Amino acid sequence: MPSIKKVAEIAGVSVGTVSHVITGSVNVSEPLRLKVQAAIRELNYHPNHVARSLKTSRTRTLGIIVPDMTISFFPQIIRGAETAARKRGYSIIAANSDDDGERQKELLSLMRSQCVEGILLVIAAAPTPQSQITRIMDADIPMVCLDRIPDRVSVDSVSVEDVDAAQMGVSHLIERGFRRIAIVTGPMSLRNERRRAQGYRQALEAAGIAVDESLIWHGTLHLDEVAALCRERLCNPKGRADAVFCTNGHNALGVLRGFRDCGLETPRDIGFVTFDELTVDDLFTPSITTIVQPAYEIGCRAGEILLDRIEGVATQEGSITVRLPATLKVRASSQR
Amino acid sequence: MPSIKKVAEIAGVSVGTVSHVITGSVNVSEPLRLKVQAAIRELNYHPNHVARSLKTSRTRTLGIIVPDMTISFFPQIIRGAETAARKRGYSIIAANSDDDGERQKELLSLMRSQCVEGILLVIAAAPTPQSQITRIMDADIPMVCLDRIPDRVSVDSVSVEDVDAAQMGVSHLIERGFRRIAIVTGPMSLRNERRRAQGYRQALEAAGIAVDESLIWHGTLHLDEVAALCRERLCNPKGRADAVFCTNGHNALGVLRGFRDCGLETPRDIGFVTFDELTVDDLFTPSITTIVQPAYEIGCRAGEILLDRIEGVATQEGSITVRLPATLKVRASSQR
DNA sequence: CTGTTAGCGCCTTCAA
DNA sequence: TTGAAGGCGCTAACAG
């Protein structure tokens, strides 16, 4: 790997001059500039980011931690953040926490060591100790939380308008005539799950339907368990729910599996609405009504806020809170 | 950000000693070690990877470039690679090329600047100039290509056994009684697409079915175009194909959209088999028969090979070629 | 076992 | 406009 010294030597100038033409910070005369550029090409020289970072204490790197990037919601977020970052000359390091608090802690620590200039975080479902987050912020590393917002910590955050979104989905089911609407949630340790459950309650109340606690099913994020949960509560036709509302797309696959296992067809036997596109919803037969989150935009906005903080553009004292609206895609599964 | 110097000061020792306890390369007496560790905790000190990398010329970082990590095949690969890397103390920088040659070139250059120690590459569909790859290898940066293997360049590679896999899928359709089997490919600039097309031909020939060139449909990777292609060739019942074989999961969504637009149902009106799980295949109604690639394992193996090269474990002179078998998941779409 | 020190490659004053 | 030189934080000799 040729260094700036080598380039200077070949070009017959000093390293300072080479540095000047690379950074463009200082004017260099035409002839010298050309000689330097020629040398750079000849050597296939690539400035060493590591050395530059050490000198300038700017890595131009962002970190993003998501639970699992094989879940389609997260890559969309990452791509949004990547785009925002790239526009401003930053790159991104993405990593998976597997919803594990310990792993998340390791990653946070690793990213600090790697000197990322800011961190985008979708917290793990395992309760995240407040300290993990405050430690980062105490070290003056800007952080923006996405999708899942931690409790009791004041931190910039971007997510969907969870309550409204859930309410919209449930109200839609009610409008279509469903009355015994069950809800399948993820872990209640997550605030967005709680808020979605709240939206569910509000929708029922607004329609004058009493909330039946036996129709509130708290799931994990494991498909098998969610499927089993649904089987157990749906197999018996007596007093069965006439529709299910699911608070996240991952669990939705478990719910659908549960339907299938009970021989239930939607919407013939049971109505269904879920958060998140199931990748190919409109190809399902029958297709599934979904609450679509603007995942890409969530990533984008979060990235922008983070960059604004890093570059001192965002001067706001308190934490910035962005809540984006979701969209209801009405399809067959909610028609009776 | 406290530095090693600060730690040394607090602990009342020299920076060398601190370094020794951190790296563990040199023995340090119990009492000093404890003092250092206490200081580290007190300061919440994180060793600066950047400085370490500069000194050691080892970043312990790998780069991976995929076309688009919102396509479910790629995150699986990335996670495989991430796991392999983590096991050996490396981290990963992942980026998307959007199948754009220019973008890919930029990323390769960026990663060089970032001093990644090796690169995993799924080449862009836009023909990749050989030079992009040889430049990296000439700079002694190990590289492993995944899934899509470049032509005319000798480089380590890991992918599925494309010919066999395609042949398996098409033979399966033949066994089930389909005879006019169309194939929808991706860009023929990609070797894996060509090899899959070859598997298609071989399967037909092995069954004594003449290849009908009018049933070979070369698609792009744009769903709308693929859907239009299928609509055009399938809407007319006269002489229509009785089954479609699709060479990649992304395009499969386009094909299914085409079916729907023509009012065709699978398998009632047309048989269907495709490469790659459609995320939720067994929930489709009817479910789709797929050729499943061991995506996670492809990423893992590629990561391991790359690390072996980096650490000088892999001494093999020529390029390493790993071809993994695919699995056929028989479901409803191929039953007549 | 512990401390001292020379760079790693680069940027950035500062002087010429 | 150009060049010389210090130092970012760390590791790895080397000396004590």
The 10s digit of each residue's pLDDT in B109-165 is 999 999 999 999 999 999 888 999 999 999 999 999 999 999 999 999 999 999 999
Task: Give percent above pLDDT 90 in chain A.
Answer: 84
Q: List the one residue out of B72, B279, B330, B288 whose CA is nearest residue A252.
A: B279
The listed CATH number (3.40.50.280, 3.40.640.10, 3.40.50.2300, 3.40.50.720) that belongs to domain B162-293+328-334? 3.40.50.2300
CA distance to A120, A131, A300, A302, B31, per residue, from A147 (Å): 11, 19, 13, 10, 46
Q: Which of residues 36-65 of B touch strand D (CB under 7 A)?
A: 47-48, 51-52, 54-56
Residue A315 has a pLDDT of 80
pLDDT band at A329 (very low <50, low <70, confident <90, very high): very high
Please tell me which residue of chain B has the smallest CA distance to A251.
B280
Q: Where in chain B is the domain with CATH 3.40.50.2300?
A: 59-160+295-324, 162-293+328-334
Is the model's pLDDT at A238 over the cut of 80? yes
Residue B20 has a pLDDT of 94
Of how many residues is chain B composed? 336
3-class DSSP state of A278: coil
Please list, in sequence order, all residues whose beta carbon lies within 8 angstroms of the beta carbon of residue A206, skipping any fewer than 6 positions away: A167, A171
| Model pLDDT for residues A271-305, shown as the tens digit of each residue | 999 999 887 655 666 688 999 999 999 999 999 99
Residue A280 has a pLDDT of 65
Residue A285 has a pLDDT of 64
CATH number of A59-160+295-324: 3.40.50.2300
Q: List the one residue out of B303, B252, B11 whose CA is nearest residue A280.
A: B252
Tally of CB atoms within 10 A around B297: 16
CB-based contact B114:A115 (threshold 8 Å)? no
User: How do A216-218 and B61-66 pair as beta strands?
Assistant: unpaired
Is the model's pLDDT at B105 over the cut of 60? yes
> Beta strands of A106-202 (E only): which ranges?
118-121, 143-146, 156-160, 181-185
Q: Is A57 left (phi over 0), alpha (psi -120 to 50) or beta?
A: left
Q: Per-residue pLDDT averaged across B22-51, rounded?
A: 92
Is the model's pLDDT at A86 over the cut of 70? yes
Q: Per-residue pLDDT averaged across B223-244, rounded?
A: 92
pLDDT band at A127 (very low <50, low <70, confident <90, very high): confident
Is the model's pLDDT at A259 over the cut of 70? yes
Interatomic distance A113 CA / D11 C1' (Å) = 16
B8 touches strand D (CB under 7 A): no
Is the model's pLDDT at A61 over the cut of 90? yes
| Model pLDDT for residues A171-198, shown as the tens digit of each residue | 999 999 999 999 999 999 999 999 999 9
> Which residues does chain B have within 8 Å of residue A44's beta carbon, measured at their own beta carbons?
135, 138-139
pLDDT band at B283 (very low <50, low <70, confident <90, very high): low
Lowest mean pLDDT segment, chosen from B49-58, B207-216, B273-282: B273-282
B16 touches strand D (CB under 7 A): yes
Is the model's pLDDT at B242 over the cut of 80? yes
> Beta strands of chain A (E only): which ranges?
61-66, 91-96, 118-121, 143-146, 156-160, 181-185, 216-218, 243-246, 271-275, 289-292, 321-324, 327-329
Residue B315 has a pLDDT of 80
Is the model's pLDDT at B266 over the cut of 90? no
Please tell me which residue of chain B has the smallest CA distance to A223.
B280
pLDDT band at A239 (very low <50, low <70, confident <90, very high): confident
Please list, in sequence order, all residues whose beta carbon lies within 8 angstroms of the beta carbon of residue A87, skipping any fewer than 6 positions away: none
Between chains, do B284 and A283 touch, taking CB under 8 Å as contact?
A: yes
A window 261-320, beta carbon within 8 A of B: 278-280, 282-286
> Closest residue by Cα to the C1' atom of nucleotide C12?
A16
User: How do B289-292 and B327-329 pair as beta strands?
Assistant: antiparallel
Q: List the one residue out of A320, A293, A295 whose CA is nearest residue A306.
A: A320
CA B317 to chain centroid, in Å, comes to 24
Residue with more model confidence, A35 or A165? A165
A27 touches strand D (CB under 7 A): yes
CA distance to B19, B35, B37, per residue, from B41 (Å): 15, 10, 6
As a whole number of angstroms, the distance between CA A315 and CA B5 comes to 32
Mean pLDDT of chain A: 94
Q: List the one residue out of B191, B107, B117, B111 whose CA is nearest residue B147.
A: B191
As a whole number of angstroms, the distance between CA B2 and CA B14 comes to 15
pLDDT band at A128 (very low <50, low <70, confident <90, very high): confident
Least CB–CB distance from B115: residue in A50, A79, A95: A50
Is the model's pLDDT at B281 over the cut of 60? no
**Helix/strand number for chain A, H first, E second:** 12, 12
Residue B217 has a pLDDT of 96
pLDDT band at B41 (very low <50, low <70, confident <90, very high): very high
Q: Omega before B267 cis (within 30°)?
A: yes
Interatomic distance B53 CA / C1 C1' (Å) = 26
| Residue A156 β-bridge partners | A144
CB-based contact A78:A66 (threshold 8 Å)? yes
3-class secondary structure for B258-305? Answer: HHHHCCCCCCCCCEEEEECCCCCHHHCCCCCEEEECCHHHHHHHHHHH
Residue A284 has a pLDDT of 66
pLDDT band at B188 (very low <50, low <70, confident <90, very high): very high
Residue B316 has a pLDDT of 86
pTM for this one? 0.95
User: How do A327-329 and A289-292 pair as beta strands?
Assistant: antiparallel
| Model pLDDT for residues B87-96, shown as the tens digit of each residue | 999 999 999 9
Buried b (16+ CB within 10 A) or exposed e, A88-115: eebbbbbbbbebebebbbebbebbbbbb
A window 148-177, beta carbon within 8 A of B: none
Which token pair is B308?
A: 């072996």
| Residue of A4, A40, A78, A114 to mutate for B, most B C-beta atoms under 10 A | A114
Please list, in sequence order, all residues whose beta carbon lies within 8 angstroms of the beta carbon of residue B161, skipping any fewer than 6 positions away: B323, B324, B325, B326
Tally of CB atoms within 10 A around B190: 25
CB-based contact B7:B18 (threshold 8 Å)? yes
